[in-house]
Chain A
């Protein structure tokens, strides 16, 4: 029999049993929709992680004191200079941070500030929408200038951040002149949000706000990604030399690349977990298909006998029943993908990042077909294997 005719026969039989076929596809629909969504969620999650960390240079290494607050043996500007002597380090600069009561006009609240050297802004991809960034002169001349994160400015000006540039804010009753307003950064992946912070020249922050509580971190930028681990080794040995009291063990050294990798692997693990749930759903739906196909073969036993009597070969019978299982599951796959696609906006409503991908579509359809073939094969084989005499005699 020609393939076209066989397909036609398959469709006639499926159409005749519309309702049963539809019920059978339900499992496949759910399974495929789940696969589609899982892959979409996975892709969405990964995109989110990548976007989150896109502002972060993967060659960045953070060196911090292992303890917070006042420490006996803090990192110093001098350490940063020493780090740059390593062949694997492109640049290194100290950062201090702290919190205090911020005030602008009538509004006041607790907030956090960073004391930075100008290079820090470049390394963290900070840029201004109004005004200017902090400059070398501000650091050396102890200018009491501040640059504001966009959310901070928004909150303190009640929605008119533009007006704050050129005005003064108070931190712990000290006044600072706002010289710039930053563009939104988004989540930086660090403990604090840049958008909610105030940036001051490091010397100014230490002199007027932190005093002897100053406990700088050092941000090190490696020459390139491959030199990150060598750079870390160098930093450790430098710290062992200069901080004899506790050596490098009293500092935490974390590189951004490994943080990105671990965030990505968390997202991947999540997708794999969901994917395995989807596969279980498909297996269950496959068992449903197998069940229905067995019933179908049983019901049509006499018909199979007739087909054999008029010359259908074993492989033609097998193809016909396998074809029915595959078409049912493939149609389920298509419907499932459509439903999955339709669910994406619903997930976004629940703030779950889902990104429909061609991969997800292909994977869903592939799995639906595989399910049909795998679970349709045994019933179809049973049909093909029927003894024609017994099949003809079956009532």
Chain B
């Protein structure tokens, strides 16, 4: 076993505050949030809607900047990065899995999975092989050339997961990954995340579903913009 000290801090965010100006009112959505996610942790952030969990995910996903605080992702200071560096960070450090899968409707399954690699500048043949490998891993070897509308919800989510992991990012960030799935597909999806966790991936799941959160290694609660551990 590794000792805790030898593990890398993937997410290292301190005193994150995010405020929005709505009319004359200043709305504090994240209130002094501090969160650390170590390498190969499998963490759930559980909270009801309006708790600030989406905002937290946007900040952790490098899609949004906090009003104040510090945030290091895989050792890199996110808040010092410019827009272009943020885009590269999202491409290389994070694999997003969305509630509604967010596959591009005009691209085939494999083209969807290849996309993050292509944005990384990897050439097509190489990207194809790597995308195929991930799709095969997720049991979609017969669905490579299918478009999203020819796939079931569960299959679409697996394509989306394949797209998230294809670039081997240090962090998988899943936003309500079971929210649009039936109960059987939900279980399948959770099983996939568990397998990925066992293979060494660091996963952060944001959910309002207690049943999902309970299947994970660690749960953090968020309410009114504040984090609570248990």
Contacts and interface: CB of A to CB of B under 8 A. Distances in A.
Nearest to B122: A2
B152 to A, nearest CB: 20
Contact of A5 (B98, B106, B118, B163): B118
Contact of B102 (A2, A306, A312): A306
A309 B64 CA distance: 11
A13 B105 CA distance: 10
Contacts of B111: 12
A311 to B, nearest CB: 2
Interface in B108-156: 111, 115-116, 118-121, 123-124
30 contacts: A1-B118, A1-B121, A5-B124, A302-B102, A303-B102, A303-B104, A305-B102, A306-B98, A306-B104, A307-B104, A307-B119, A308-B90, A309-B61, A309-B63, A309-B90, A310-B96, A310-B115, A310-B116, A310-B119, A311-B90, A311-B91, A313-B83, A313-B84, A313-B88, A314-B84, A315-B84, A389-B58, A389-B64, A392-B63, A392-B102
B98 A2 contact: no
B185 interface: no
Nearest to B120: A311
B15 interface: no
A5 B116 CA distance: 12
A257 B51 CA distance: 87
Given A313-B83, A313-B88, 13 more contacts: A2-B118, A2-B124, A12-B107, A13-B106, A306-B98, A307-B119, A308-B90, A309-B63, A309-B90, A311-B91, A316-B119, A389-B63, A392-B98
A392 B102 CA distance: 9
A327 to B, nearest CB: 15
A388 interface: yes
A16 interface: yes
B49 to A, nearest CB: 13
B87 interface: yes
B163 A310 contact: yes
B92 interface: yes
A310 B98 CA distance: 11
A244 interface: no
A305 B106 CA distance: 16
Q: 3 closest pairs, A vs B, by CB?
A: A311-B91, A306-B102, A313-B87
B87 A311 contact: yes
A310 B58 contact: no
Interface of A: 1-2, 4-5, 12-13, 16, 302-303, 305-316, 388-389, 392
A314 B98 contact: no
Nearest to A393: B54
A64 B63 CA distance: 86
A305 B58 CA distance: 12
Interface in B151-172: 163
Contacts of B90: 308-311
Contacts of B105: 303
Nearest to A303: B104
Contacts of A306: 98, 102, 104
Contacts of A303: 102, 104-105
Q: Which of A5, A312, A315, A388 has the most CB of B within 10 A?
A: A5
Contacts of B63: 308-309, 388-389, 392
A4 B88 CA distance: 20
Contacts of B116: 310-311
A313 B107 CA distance: 19
B61 A311 contact: no
A303 B106 CA distance: 11
A308 B94 CA distance: 12
A165 to B, nearest CB: 79
Contacts of B120: 311
Nearest to B85: A313
Q: Which of B83, B115, B120, B123 has the most CB of A within 10 A?
A: B115
B225 to A, nearest CB: 16
A13 B118 CA distance: 17
A49 B120 CA distance: 60
Contact of A311 (B88, B98, B102): B88
A87 B121 CA distance: 77
Nearest to A315: B84
A12 B96 contact: no
B25 to A, nearest CB: 20
Contacts of B118: 1-2, 5
Contacts of A392: 63, 98, 102
A5 to B, nearest CB: 5
A30 to B, nearest CB: 29
Nearest to B160: A306
A13 B104 CA distance: 10
A2 B87 contact: no
Contacts of A316: 119
A302 B101 CA distance: 11
Nearest to B173: A309
